[in-house]
Chain A
Amino acid sequence: MNCEQFVEQVTAFLDGVMDPAAERRFVDHLAECDGCGTYLDQVRATVRTLGDLPPENLPPEARESLLAAFRRTDV
């Protein structure tokens, strides 16, 4: 495996869906290549930052009108 192939396998590797032989080639390359180690770290850091984006809330009026709509649908 070379670096160009490595970068295309990162998501499959992180999801744990590579077949065992391909995964071994991936890990073997990782052990030998600092550049690809850095690349993998950067993808992980990207994923962490995405997970860290602040949430937004529904406007209070929208929340109230939905609660009212729920109340109206009495069985």
Chain B
Amino acid sequence: MGLPGDEELVARLRARDEAAFALVLDSWSPGLLRLARSFVSTGESAAEVVQDTWLAVIKGIDGFEGRSSLKTWVFRILVNTAKRRGKREYRTIPASDLGPTVDPAKFGGPGDPFPGHWLELPAPWPGPDQAALDGEVRAQVSAALADLPERQRVVLTLRDVEGYDSAEVCAILEISAANQRVLLHRARAFVRGKLDAYFTDEEVAR
């Protein structure tokens, strides 16, 4: 579904063109809901955060300065709305977010013949392409997403679920590129690890 460009969209919203509002409301609400869910635990409160966001957009559209894209601006309002509820802070990476993302026990230690190399090679998953479409695999990924620390979940949701690029995510969350990458990296490694455990266990069960 093609949306008009920002300039036209903003002009129409300012002219109180309801069709234009319905267009952005329907196009962006699914992504906003998903992002809201990465801050709050229930579907109802996620929907409330999204509603509050749109109300703030309606109120603020006349003051929108176009320093970011309209969509980024709307997503940023959602993040601020959600953060204000929970008084969360995203600017710095706590120490617990540093360190290896793969269990060091999986690699040879300093005394091994091949230090730092896989002790046992990761086993390929059954048909990774087909796995992406499998409902059960999707459920595993959803569960893993829910288990992530919040900041990692927010970044992973924006980058990989919603498909934003790194610069957009930094703009929405107002974090540095390096912080963004650390959070994304840890989150991906975590979800990959959960999937790996799922595929490996399943093989054992067979």
Contacts and interface: CB of A to CB of B under 8 A. Distances in A.
Interface of A: 2-5, 7-8, 10-12, 15, 17, 33-36, 38-39, 41-59, 62-63, 65-67, 69-71, 73-75
Given A11-B185, A55-B30, A65-B51, A3 B107 contact: yes
Interface in B157-200: 160-161, 163, 166, 177, 181, 184-185, 188-189, 191-192, 195-196
Interface string B117-133: 11001111100110111
A41 B30 contact: no
B100 interface: yes
A42 B102 contact: no
Contacts of A35: 117-118, 121-122
B64 interface: no
A5 B116 contact: yes
A55 to B, nearest CB: 4
Given A46-B160, A56-B33, A65-B51, 6 more contacts: A3-B118, A4-B104, A11-B184, A46-B192, A49-B141, A67-B18
Interface of B: 14, 16, 18, 21-22, 25-26, 29-31, 33-34, 37, 43, 47, 50-51, 54-55, 58-59, 100-102, 104, 107, 114-118, 121-125, 128-129, 131-133, 137-138, 141-142, 145, 156, 160-161, 163, 166, 177, 181, 184-185, 188-189, 191-192, 195-196
Nearest to B55: A69
A9 B192 CA distance: 15
A3 B114 CA distance: 10
Contact of A3 (B14, B16, B117): B117
A45 B188 CA distance: 10
A56 B30 CA distance: 5
A53 B135 CA distance: 9
B145 to A, nearest CB: 7
A70 B16 contact: yes
A52 to B, nearest CB: 5
A46 B124 contact: no
B182 to A, nearest CB: 9
Contact of B188 (A47, A52, A59): A47
B161 A7 contact: no
A71 to B, nearest CB: 6
